[in-house]
């Protein structure tokens, strides 16, 4: 009887882990000598993940995490990172999903009470992006 109860608890806990397992998507963008890696998990309305930018080599980089909301085909959030040789920073980030790629948007930054955000009066530019992320295989990372 005890063995059956133990087996039942084990089976339920295994199923629970599988039910809530997050699925990550891996992306990479290259701009000249710079490489950016983005790993994100998406739900219906939100995303989160890791973001790393390597400047010229792997020795100099910014790395941290991203999180935010999904509005239509756009991911809007913040990038919390530690700059190479610096301290913790936070920047707004906007990514447009188009043709199975993520386009890194740029805009004019405004600061209020220490928080940086995109100026709402000036549209985000997706036409000349610094990075265009393409999906890569998890093993390439």
**76 is a domain residue:** yes
**13 is a domain residue:** no
**77 is a domain residue:** yes
**12 is a domain residue:** no
Q: Summarize pLDDT for 34-63 with one digit per residue, the tens.
A: 999 999 999 989 999 999 999 887 778 889
Expressed as residue numbers, the domain containing 135 is 23-140
Question: In the prediction, which pLDDT does 37 show?
Answer: 95
Q: Alpha-carbon distance 68 to 89, whole Å?
A: 16
Among 26, 14, 8, CA closest to 134:
26
Among 68, 81, 26, 34, CA closest to 54:
34
Question: In the prediction, which pLDDT does 136 show?
Answer: 92
Q: Is the pTM of this model over 0.85?
A: no
Q: How many domains does the chain have?
A: 1
**14 is a domain residue:** no
Question: In the prediction, which pLDDT does 65 show?
Answer: 95
Q: Which residues contact 113 (CB under 8 A, 6 or more apart)?
A: none
């Amino acid at each position: 009887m005890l063995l059956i109860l133990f087996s039942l608890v084990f089976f339920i806990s295994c199923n629970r882990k599988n039910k809530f397992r997050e699925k990550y998507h891996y992306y990479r963008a290259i701009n000249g000598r710079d490489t950016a890696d983005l790993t994100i998990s998406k739900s219906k309305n939100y995303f989160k993940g890791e973001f790393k930018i390597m400047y010229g080599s792997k020795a100099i980089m910014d790395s941290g995490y991203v999180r935010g909301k999904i509005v239509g085909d756009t991911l809007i959030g913040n990038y919390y990172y530690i700059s190479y040789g610096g301290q913790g920073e936070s920047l707004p980030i906007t990514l447009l999903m188009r043709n199975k790629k993520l386009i890194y948007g740029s805009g004019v930054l405004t600061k209020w009470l220490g928080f940086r955000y995109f100026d709402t009066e000036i549209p985000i530019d997706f036409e000349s992006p610094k990075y265009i992320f393409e999906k890569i295989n998890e093993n390439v990372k």
